Amino acid sequence: MEKFVFFGGKGGVGKTTMSAAYAVKCADAGLDTLIVSTDPAHSTSDVFDQRFGDEPEAVDGRTGLWAMEIDPDEEVEHHLMETKRALGDQVSAAMVNEIDRQIEMAHQTPGAYEAALFDRFVDVMRSSGDFDRVVFDTSPTGGTLRLLGLPDFLEGWIDRLTRKRERSIDLFEKAAIGNNEPRRVMDGDPILARLRERKEFFEYAGETLREHAAFFLVVNPDELSVRETRRAAEGLADRGLAVRGLAVNRLTPSPDDDENGRGARYLRDRVETERAHLRTLREEFDQPVVAEIETRIEEVKGDFLTEVAAELDIDTAAPATPEDGRT
């Protein structure tokens, strides 16, 4: 199994539950495991009954398990400040206000949220040398797909910006100092340096996601969830990110054969419907079904988590070479 494991899926299907259970499974198998969530509702904190923050913190009562919760709003704010600072250092005082205004506007556009979160994800991946496995509990499908599809898109955009900047420096040099030392200004240009740094960042992200990350989709046995999963699997595949398996959650338990009350008949019909969806998942998807988790009578936390972990047929073994996915 790759070092980085992502769980995606529609809202409320059980992503947090599955990622927590898988993280517990990895930790119990002896891997130093970090679970990372981006849920503003702090559901990872709820699952473990412990408040987590922005940095990895050991989970009480578990060995080899750490957790952190990234607050998306704070990330956008942080990203905004960082961008302002990075550019502010490089332009004249007169331009700072105008640039600040532009950056603030850019952060209100759709996608800014994803961009900020993406940066943080990649930061976590880059600085995860202490961990054998990092499990990402992602936001619902749409956002995650956009998020993970960003590196190639942004790399292309940065290439275009770089070419523009090179051209304007070139023109400036030709006008100002003639064509004697054309590389002089280019080499020391802070904006080119920043663009190069961002390009390396996205190259790292793209490569890491393609080569050291595995994706699992959590799905409920109903029509909407199955349809959404099909779209998500195709979307990920289009970006060169293969979905490794489907984790089916919230299956209705069957009543005993001798039970025939109204409740039992209802459950039996419900189980039948769900079996049909399960068949669709098995027959029409390329990915294997790696878990069939029944609906529990309570939220999945504590001992339930260990129980669900045992039902996940997802490999925990660390990457073949310790260098895999490390930086």
Stretch that binds ligand ATP, among 232-240, 275-283, 294-302, 314-322 (CB under 6 A): 294-302
Pick 147 or 195: Cβ nearer Mg ion: 147
Residue closest to 219 by CA, chosen among 240, 243, 241, 253? 243
64 binds, among Mg ion, ligand ATP, none (CB under 5 to 8 A by kind): none
Closest CA to 36 of 4, 61, 70: 70
142 token code pair: 């749409």
Given the rule CB under 6 A, which of 5-13, 178-186, 205-213, 232-240 is the region that contacts ligand ATP?
A: 5-13
120 touches ligand ATP by CB under 6 A: no
| Residue 251 backbone dihedrals phi, psi, to 5 degrees | -80, 140
Nearer to ligand ATP, 13 or 59 (CB): 13
Cβ contact 308:21 at 8 Å: yes
Least Å distance between CB 219 and ligand ATP?
10
Of 280, 276, 309, which is closest to residue 293 (Cα–Cα)? Answer: 309
Q: Out of 3, 5, 8, 13, which residue is the one contacting ligand ATP (CB under 6 A)?
A: 13
What does DSSP assign to residue 245?
Answer: E
Decide: is 70 part of the binding site for ligand ATP (CB under 6 A).
no
- What is the rounded CA–CA span in Å between residue 44 and residue 38? 9
Of 34, 147, 241, 300, which one interacts with ligand ATP (CB under 6 A)?
A: 300
User: Least distance (Å) from ligand ATP to the CB of residue 79?
Assistant: 22
Using CB under 6 A, pick the residue from 146, 198, 250, 277 that binds ligand ATP.
250
Residues that bind Mg ion (CB under 5 A): 15-16, 39, 43
Tell me the torsion sign for CA atoms 52, 56, 57, 59. Answer: positive
Contact 218/18 with Cβ under 8 angstroms?
yes
Residue 22 near residue 47 (C-beta atoms within 8 A): no
Q: What angle do CA 120, 126, 127 make, to 5 degrees?
A: 90
Distance (Å, rounded) from C-alpha 112 to C-alpha 129? 28
The Cα 315–Cα 305 span in angstroms is 17
For residue 295, the partner it binds in ligand ATP, Mg ion, none, with Cβ less than 5 to 8 A by kind, is ligand ATP
Residue 43 in contact with ligand ATP, rule: CB under 6 A? yes
Q: Which residues contact 156 (CB under 8 A, 6 or more apart)?
A: none
Nearer to ligand ATP, 9 or 56 (CB): 9
> Which region, judged by CB under 6 A, interacts with ligand ATP, from 56-64, 195-203, 226-234, 291-299?
291-299
Q: Are 43 and 140 in contact (CB under 8 A)?
A: no
CA 125 to chain centre: 10
User: Of these, 5, 6, 17, 76, which contacts ligand ATP (CB under 6 A)?
Assistant: 17
Alpha helices in the chain (DSSP H): 15-28, 43-48, 72-88, 93-106, 112-126, 141-148, 150-177, 184-188, 190-211, 223-238, 262-284, 303-311
Q: Which of 33, 144, 225, 249 binds ligand ATP (CB under 6 A)?
A: 249
Least distance between ligand ATP and beta carbon 207 (Å): 28
Instruction: State the minimum distance, in angstroms, from the CB of residue 295 to ligand ATP.
Output: 4
16/225 with CB nearer Mg ion: 16
Say whether residue 79 binds ligand ATP (CB under 6 A). no
Which residue among 72, 88, 111, 140 contacts ligand ATP (CB under 6 A)? 140
Query: Contact between 132 and ligand ATP (CB under 6 A)?
Result: no
Q: How far is the CB of 242 from ligand ATP (least distance, A)?
A: 21
Query: Could you list the residues that contact ligand ATP (CB under 6 A)?
Result: 9, 11-17, 39, 43, 140, 249-250, 293, 295-296, 299-300
